[in-house]
Amino acid sequence: MKIAIDARGLRTSSGRYVERLIHYLQQVDQRNHYLIMLSQKDFDTWQPTNPNFSKVICPHKEYSFDEQIGFKRQLDDLGLDLVHFAMVQQPAWYHASPVVTTMQDLTTIRFRNPDKNPLIFWLKQQIYKWLNKRVARKSAHIITISEFVKKDIVNFTGVDPRKITVTLESADELPGGGEPIAALANRQFIMYVGRPTPHKNLRRLINAFQLLQATHPDLVLALAGKKDGNYARHKRYIKERGITNVVFTGFVSDEQLRWMYEHTAVYCFPSLSEGFGLPGLEAMLHGAPVASSTATCLPETHGEAAHYFDPYNVKDMARAINDLLTDDRLRRQLIKKGKQHVKTFSWQRMAEQTLAVYEQYGRRDTDS
């Protein structure tokens, strides 16, 4: 078969999924031929390792008229047997070949982003709601990354649950050798890494940290991630409340992130909504005890290897973090459980399950 994979989001916050998928497909599939659709900025940096994989520039931006018209025309001209869109954003009227779509979560439908223009974001939400339903119904098959999201998609779109396959993500060992982050070196800190958007629930984490300071006055809260308008709002809030010992690291390299995981007292995952919750698994892999929200998919992903709290209850969040700061036996147990739990996940298995979907739903009337 001749299969195209939409990898325009390769270097985005959710791009690890498609990057790992392509990486492992090159190892497990020696028969089919693949066209990897890349944005201009990623075209030179990504290189295939399997001769059956080639790359194509895809200049069509998400949520644009050009995506609906130009991207559709580009795909029509390629004579494909299957297209895998790694995100919902896609030409809504593409029908030239069977379509497989990965739907990672429905968070954008439910949460407002105050960093965006309210009217434009509301309009984007309405388009996204329509597009999710349209894509779910027209796709030959849907892939998602947790059983929770599968149920969520069924409830929102009305598609038959048999139309959805769950392929779990995994965690990679990050490269070592990172220099210590100066503001955190030789200090006890708890940490979070990721975007600062409202559903990540950082405001309550900051409030829980303030409660913890009464009994842990030297404790530091480290918030890692690309700085934007949402982070600026959190900084203003911290200043207004007179909260000290909060470190905004900004973007950190994989080497620095590994150092943080290996040296943090607690990794806290306060989210109100996730599709999978990969940073929690990364933290476990590198020996950090995890305090996790009970929201959406997180208990499914973290299993018995995390210490849970109600993400809407600041006192309960502080209680869970404090347990891991003060109970050495619980801390050691969770670190051990976490390292074992991560071993139950596999990117290669995810790629093999995805390939099975391709084989089932791709067009078979060619010799490729």
**CATH architecture of the region 2-170+346-361:** 3-Layer(aba) Sandwich (3.40)
Tokens read off for 361? 């739903």
SS3 assignment, position 220: strand
Least confident of 107-121, 187-201, 238-252, 326-340: 107-121
pLDDT confidence tier of residue 115, bands split at 50, 70 and 90? low
Confidence (pLDDT) at 365: 60
What are the extents of the domains in the chain?
2-170+346-361, 189-342
User: Domain 189-342 carries which CATH code?
Assistant: 3.40.50.2000
pLDDT at 193: 96
117's CB contacts (< 8 A; 6+ apart) are none
Q: What is the mean pLDDT of residues 265-272?
A: 98
Average pLDDT over residues 333-349: 98
| pLDDT confidence tier of residue 25, bands split at 50, 70 and 90 | very high
The CA distance from 224 to 17, in Å, is 20
d(CA 306, CA 187): 23
Using a 10 angstrom Cβ sphere, with 0-12 exposed, 13-18 middle and 19 or more buried, the burial of residue 242 is: exposed
Which bin fits 277, alpha (ψ -120 to 50), beta or left (φ > 0)? left
Q: Is 217 helix (H, G, I), strand (E, B) or coil?
A: coil
Going from the C-alpha of 37 to that of each of 72, 82, 144, 344, 364, the distances in angstroms are: 13, 13, 20, 31, 22
Give the model's confidence band at 124: pLDDT under 50 very low, under 70 low, under 90 confident, else very high. confident
Strand 33-38 to strand 53-57: parallel, antiparallel, or no bridges (unpaired)? parallel
Three-state DSSP at 232 gives: helix
Beta bridge partners of 143: 102, 165
What's the pTM?
Answer: 0.93
**263: pLDDT strictly greater than 80:** yes
